[in-house]
Amino acid sequence: MSVHVYVMPNGRMSLPADLRRRHGLASGGQVIVEETEDAIVLRTVGQAVARAQALSRKLTAGKAGTTVEDFLAERRREANGE
Instruction: In whole angstroms, give the CA distance from residue 21 to residue 18.
Output: 5
Q: Is residue 12 part of a domain?
A: no
pLDDT digits (tens, 9 = 90+) for 33-67: 999 999 999 999 999 999 999 999 899 888 888 88
Q: Is 32 a residue whose pLDDT tops 70?
A: yes
**Is 26 among the domain residues?**
yes
Q: How many domains does the chain have?
A: 1
- Please give the backbone phi and psi of residue 38, each rounded to the nearest 5 degrees, phi first: -135, 20
Q: Which domain holds residue 55?
A: 17-79
Residue 8 within a domain: no
Nearest partner of 43 among 29, 27, 32, 55, judged by Cα: 32
